[in-house]
Amino acid sequence: MSNSEKLDQLTSGKSFEHRGLLRKTVKPYIRETVPTRRPAASPKRSDYYLFSPIHYEPKYAYPLLVWFHSPGADETEIFRIMPQLSLRNYVAVAPRGLTIEEAGAERCDRFRSFAGGVGRFSALYDWTETAASLDCAEARVFDAIDRAQVRCHLAPHRIFLAGIGAGGSMAMRLGARYPEFFAGVISFSGGFPMIPSSLAKWGSLRRLPIMMMIGSKNPAFPPATVSKQLRLFHTAGMSVSIRQYSTADDTAPSMFRDANQWMMDRIAQPTS
């Protein structure tokens, strides 16, 4: 296929795919009937990137990683995340965060400009803590999961949520809302939501594996906050692994190595 044919295929809205690379689809979403165990996906088109591993084996049911990008970034963040995590072990999907209007909340514009000029991001995407934000993010995430299941062979009982900062917090909020649907949650420097509704499914939440990775020098997550969260986890009887790293970085290389090993350990466990 020539370069001009590839360009025509992309601009016509068709999917042009490469295994081991990321691709973006722009097909309109068609509402479908979904199981009652999770909400119906939004009828609006959601922007996301889908990653398929190198040497993809169509007959193998891959685990799926849903990635929640960091505040101010977008779904393209997965370009730098998956090479650090694994290029072989997972199919991954990264939905785009919410704009101010979608989240129904005000937000700082520190990502919009830099040194008096236009910043990298023309629009701000984030995962805020409002009820409207959770509902919108929920529909967007399950929409992306549905699309990933259509394009790749996935193990439905091996869907993990992970994210950075506010993305990690949103991953835990969604995991707490549907603990029976996910295999585990990983948060890079994002706190567990300290609101009563987070423990509404307390019985199922106790069986959901959660991993939190925190830089000990990260000012956004001081020791007092860590202690408060630990007390909550202990009181609720939750299965949470908290690891501290001697860094101020949210995404140190050792964090990704540990996250990959943590997920693979759970994948290797027999399902009930």
Q: Give phi and psi for 83, each to the nearest 5.
A: -60, -30
Can you spell out the DSSP letters for 67-110? EEPPTT--GGGHHHHHHHH-SSS-EEEEE--B-HHHHTS----T
Q: What is the 3-state secondary structure (H, E, C) of 167-234?
A: HHHHHHHHHHHCCCCCCEEEEECCCCCCCHHHHCCHHHHCCCCEEEEEECCCCCCCHHHHHHHHHHHH
Of 153, 154, 96, 159, nearest in space to 127 by CA:
96
Percentage of the chain exceeding pLDDT 70: 74
Look-up of token digits 């805020």: 128
pLDDT of 10 higher than 60: no
In the sheet that 184-188 helps form, which strands lie side by side, from edge to edge? 22-24, 48-51, 91-95, 62-68, 154-164, 184-188, 210-215, 240-245
Q: Fill in the amino acid letter for 11.
A: T
The SS3 assignment for 39 reads coil
pTM: 0.76
Q: How confident is the model at residue 21 (pLDDT cuts 50, 70, 90)?
A: very low
Instruction: Give the pLDDT confidence score for residue 38 in this predicted structure.
Output: 52
Instruction: Give the pLDDT confidence score for residue 221 in this predicted structure.
Output: 78
Q: Tell which wins on pLDDT, 97 or 264.
A: 264
pLDDT of 107 higher than 50: no
Looking at the DSSP assignment, which residues form a beta bridge with residue 241? 211
Q: How confident is the model at residue 170 (pLDDT cuts 50, 70, 90)?
A: very high
For residue 84, what are the CA distances in angstroms to 71, 152, 171, 184, 244?
19, 21, 19, 19, 19
Q: Fill in the amino acid letter for 156.
A: P
Task: Report how far residue 201's alpha carbon sits from residue 46's, in angstroms, rounded to the nearest whole number.
Answer: 28
Instruction: Give the pLDDT confidence score for residue 172 in this predicted structure.
Output: 94
Domain topology for 49-268: Rossmann fold (3.40.50)
Q: Give me the mean pLDDT over the 251-262 stretch.
A: 94
pLDDT of 260 higher than 50: yes
pLDDT of 109 higher than 90: no
Where are the chain's structural domains? 49-268
Six-digit token pair at 126? Answer: 């984030």
Where is average pLDDT lowest: 42-46, 122-126, 173-177, 187-191? Answer: 42-46
Looking at the DSSP assignment, which residues form a beta bridge with residue 208? none
Q: How confident is the model at residue 262 (pLDDT cuts 50, 70, 90)?
A: very high
**pLDDT per position as a tens digit, 212-222:** 999 888 887 78
The SS3 assignment for 157 reads strand
**pLDDT per position as a tens digit, 33-68:** 333 445 544 444 458 899 999 999 999 999 999 999
**pLDDT per position as a tens digit, 224-253:** 888 888 888 988 889 899 999 988 787 889
pLDDT of 155 higher than 60: yes
Q: What is the chain's mean pLDDT, rounded?
A: 78
Q: Give me the mean pLDDT over the 62-75 stretch.
A: 94
Contact 136, 221 (CB under 8 A): no
Q: Give phi and psi for 93, each to the nearest 5.
A: -135, 140
Instruction: Give the pLDDT confidence score for residue 198 in this predicted structure.
Output: 81
Instruction: Give the pLDDT confidence score for residue 33 in this predicted structure.
Output: 34
pLDDT of 122 higher than 80: no
Provide CB contacts within 8 A for 29, sequence distance 6+: 41, 42, 43, 44, 45, 46, 143
